[in-house]
Amino acid sequence: MQNATKMGLNCTGAQMSPMDSKEQLKASQEVRPDIPGNERKLALVRTEEAAKADAIGSVPIPGSARGMVKTALNKLVGVSPEVLIDKLGERLAFERGGVRLYEALMAKAQAIDAVDEQMLKTMKHFRDEEAEHLQLVVAAMEKLGADPTAMTPCADVVGVTNMGVLQTISDPRTNLAQSLNALLTAELTDNAGWELLIELADAAGQSSISESFEKALAQEQVHADTVRGWLSEEVMRQV
């Protein structure tokens, strides 16, 4: 694996061919787009589509009788349990994705000559913690009578959002620093996600759930700080 940034025959920039670039600029003024409309029309269509679109999914009705009772109870006290269940589903999907990100990263790190064994060990430890967090969310959903196997709307959305991160790390051509950069995107988002979930669980009167999540948040803060440190070391090593 090429684990450092190198100079090479990159022809993507305008400096590679000033004459052709001049012609290209001229053409952009002369050749009009063959699709009617402009950026104002594009914005208008986007607004119209957003206004009439259906929701991306729904939160399933809790399957167990116990869940039904709890849901009804929360409705009575003016809290929407579906918001909490949706965000729990999101965290579950994210942590499951986190396990896959670390597995892809560990496989990549193995390709490095003289790989840092301590870093590999820590990656494995973080991978295991992501799996534990997943189980923590499963337990919370079951406590509420919700189905942890269901794809909630927010779970669906984070799956799509994280596709770029997974693609970056699983691309065999990306080096360690590029992969760590992608992982940092996920870990920073994960931290914010746990903070919001704890706030939400508290607001929904589910203090035992929010307390059980504090340990996960503390561990995620270590993940983000460590990945940030690895990225910095890896980039500075190349200088």
Task: Name the residue type at position 1.
Answer: M
Alpha-carbon span 209 to 206, nearest angstrom? 5
Q: How far is the CB of 145 from Fe ion (least distance, A)?
A: 28
- Binding-site residue total for Fe ion (CB under 5 A)? 2
- Site for Fe ion contains 223 (CB under 5 A): yes
- Site for Fe ion contains 91 (CB under 5 A): no
With respect to Fe ion, which residue has the nearer C-beta, 70 or 91? 91
Query: Interface with Fe ion by CB under 5 A: which range of 5-13, 47-55, 198-206, 213-221?
Result: 213-221
Q: How far is the CB of 190 from Fe ion (least distance, A)?
A: 5
Let me know if 112 is exposed, middle or buried by CB neighbors in 10 A (0-12, 13-18, 19+): middle
Query: Interface with Fe ion by CB under 5 A: which range of 104-112, 158-166, 215-223, 228-236?
Result: 215-223
Task: Kindly state the DSSP code that residue 172 receives in the 8-state scheme.
Answer: T
> In the complex, which residue's CB is closest to Fe ion?
223
Query: Interface with Fe ion by CB under 5 A: which range of 27-35, 38-46, 65-73, 212-220?
Result: 212-220
Nearest one of 64, 188, 173, 155 to 108, comparing CA atoms: 173
- Site for Fe ion contains 133 (CB under 5 A): no
Q: How far is the CB of 217 from Fe ion (least distance, A)?
A: 10
Task: Name the residue type at position 54.
Answer: D
Query: Interface with Fe ion by CB under 5 A: which range of 20-28, 70-78, 86-94, 221-229?
Result: 221-229
CA angle 124, 129, 130 (to 5 degrees): 95
> Do the beta carbons of residue 179 and residue 108 sit within 8 Å?
yes
Interface positions, 168-187, toward Fe ion (CB under 5 A): none
With respect to Fe ion, which residue has the nearer C-beta, 82 or 129? 129
With respect to Fe ion, which residue has the nearer C-beta, 82 or 194? 194
Q: How far is the CB of 238 from Fe ion (least distance, A)?
A: 25
Alpha-carbon span 172 to 25, nearest angstrom? 35
- CA torsion sign, 20 to 25 to 28 to 29? negative
Q: How far is the CB of 232 from Fe ion (least distance, A)?
A: 18
Nearest one of 178, 175, 184, 180 to 111, comparing CA atoms: 175
Query: How many Cβ atoms from other residues are within 10 Å of residue 222's Cβ?
Result: 14
With respect to Fe ion, which residue has the nearer C-beta, 3 or 219? 219
With respect to Fe ion, which residue has the nearer C-beta, 14 or 218? 218
Q: How far is the CB of 31 from Fe ion (least distance, A)?
A: 48
> Do the beta carbons of residue 91 and residue 140 sit within 8 Å?
no
- CA torsion sign, 27 to 32 to 35 to 38? positive
Applying CB under 5 A, the residues found at the interface with Fe ion are 220, 223
